[in-house]
Structure 1
Amino acid sequence: MKLVYKGKTKDVYDLEDGNYLLKFKDDVTGKDGVFDPGANTVGLTVEGMGKSGLKMTKFFFEKLKEKGIPTHYVDADIENSTMTVRPAKMFGNGIEVICRYRAVGSFLRRYGMYAEEGQKLDSFVEITLKDDEREDPPITEDALHMLGILSRDEYKILKERTVEISNIVKEELAKKGIELYDIKLEFGRVGDNDEIALIDEISGGNMRAYKDGQYIEPLELEKLMLEK
């Protein structure tokens, strides 16, 4: 296997059959030792985080597969913390899509003049550019279109798919009495027809979830979600 990309929370290897292997690591994003799914730096290392993130990702990607929602997922090897995926083309140099149900994190930092902490939001979708140097700036539909990153039609599909996927995650968490506050997703163009598909992962490391008003750490979230 050839290492093609060393990421913050995953390394990517090229498989000879045309697919890729993602190796999940125990590193999580954050700052000064505090976890933050919206951060663009590694904040801490949590033992078992890679395997935990992969278990959740496998659970959700297989749910999406059942519902016919396109993803890059092929299969997962929990023991080795690896996931096989189809190749995907990035939008520009990569974008992240956040779906928000409550006002927390960077939403509150930006709009705190108007928003109260924990205020309910109606599946608010925002897109940020993957750009560490500029701290992942938010970008609008018009700018995405004018800069040639996304067409308006692609934006519409991306937004609809984001809400659909986020609502599925929200409903699954609700079955365990857990409330999803926000979730960060990534998409790419997959297959011969460049279908817009979910890529990367769906785990505790890219969402904020609360139970009885208390924030749940990613490892604990995986235990609560997947316990029988």
Structure 2
Amino acid sequence: MTRRRRIYEGKAKVLFEGPEPGTLVQYFKDDASAFNNQKKGVITGKGVLNNRISEYLMSRLSEIGVPTHFVRRLNMREQLVREVEIIPIEVVVRNVAAGSLSKRFGIPEGTPLPRSIIEYYYKSDELNDPMVSEEHITAFGWAAPADLDDMVALSLRVNDYLSGLFLGNGLRLVDFKLEFGRLWENDEMRIVLADEISPDNCRLWDVKTNEKLDKDRFRQDLGKVEEAYQEVARRLGILPEGGPSDVKGPKTLQ
């Protein structure tokens, strides 16, 4: 396999030098983590499934005009993406009370929210990804006001579209996390959706039973984690034939 220079390795993915200037290869691992990396494990086949799920969702969003870094899937575990300058802010969109929101405000999990709520978190493992406000983001220069406006508008558009898409497949989009980047083309810059969209960063519940079909099964030791990811892929019609078979990762240059 082609030897590539490793650019960055995160908890769930590795970024390698792309075949063309301005591109990267995003490799999906089976590694799983929770609670800011305090809990670690492996979800067999997760990387293969997340690659396919994220490809499908990013492609659908692109079709409705949401700009993304996604170019195309390369194989079972890799996809070609545009190189972007990641904005160090995680945008969380919440439709139903769950996770930290339930704990912070004492709202029973599963309570529908009066409207979709957007929260911001500063990307920093060392600081445990603290929640921040628009004032923090603009004052510290993490994003300009215009950038933040674009991120919010895109997040709400993604929420509207994905909520309907998942609902049509018997899934409730409880909440999800998005990341954005600055894409430079000549002298022009635009904000685009980056990272991934998968059961790793979406809470997805069965609409009839409220069964959790996402990484909460790993966080909460509920079991059948692999089966949950497979079920999401199956409902979207993209489960690879024969299940999430594996491929070897690319060789890297240190």
Q: After TM superposition, is the score higher than 0.5?
A: yes
**Residues 28-73 of structure 1: per-residue CA shift (max 9 Å, x gap):** 2325xxxxxxx44563211110010011111111111211211001
Root-mean-square deviation (CA, aligned residues, Å) is: 1.6
Deviation of the 1:191 alpha carbon:
2.6
Among 130, 147, 153, the residue aligned to 1:137: 130
Among 14, 30, 34, the residue aligned to 1:30: 34
Deviation of the 1:227 alpha carbon:
5.5
Q: SS of the counterpart of 1:84?
A: strand
Deviation of the 1:116 alpha carbon:
2.7
**Residues 130-170 of structure 1: per-residue CA shift (max 9 Å, x gap):** 11111100110111111111122221111111111122111
Partner of 1:54: 51
Partner of 1:107: 101
Contact map agreement 1:2 1:14 (CA 8 A) in 2:
yes
Alignment partners' CA distance in 1, 2:164 and 2:146: 27
1:119 maps onto 2:119 in alignment: no
Alignment partners' CA distance in 2, 1:13 and 1:126: 30
1:198 maps onto 2:193 in alignment: yes
Alignment partners' CA distance in 1, 2:162 and 2:212: 17
Among 151, 154, 160, the residue aligned to 2:147: 154
* 1:64-79 mapped onto 2 (5 Å cutoff): 64-79=61-76
Q: Mark the CA change 1:172 to 1:41 in structure 2 (over 3 Å): closer, same or farther.
A: farther
Larger Rg over CA atoms: 2
**Residues 103-143 of structure 1: per-residue CA shift (max 9 Å, x gap):** 1101112222xx23222122211110111111100110111
Q: SS of the counterpart of 1:65?
A: helix
Alignment partners' CA distance in 2, 1:185 and 1:40: 18
Q: Mark the CA change 1:170 to 1:29 in structure 2 (over 3 Å): closer, same or farther.
A: farther
Q: Mark the CA change 1:50 to 1:149 in structure 2 (over 3 Å): closer, same or farther.
A: same
Using the TM superposition, name which of 121-130 and 39-48 deviates more: 39-48
Q: 5+ unaligned residues in a row in structure 1: which ranges?
A: 32-38
1:219 maps onto 2:211 in alignment: no
Partner of 1:88: 84
Deviation of the 1:209 alpha carbon:
0.8
Q: 5+ unaligned residues in a row in structure 2: which ranges?
A: 214-227, 240-254
Q: Name the amino acid aligned to 1:118.
A: G
Number of residue pairs the alignment of both structures matches: 216
* 1:5-44 mapped onto 2 (5 Å cutoff): 5-18=8-21, 19-30=23-34, 39-41=36-38, 43-44=40-41
Alignment partners' CA distance in 2, 1:107 and 1:226: 31
TM-score of the two chains, using structure 1 as the length reference: 0.89
Taking CA–CA contacts closer than 8 Å with sequence separation of 6 or more, which of the two structures ends up with the larger relative contact order?
2
1:209 maps onto 2:204 in alignment: yes
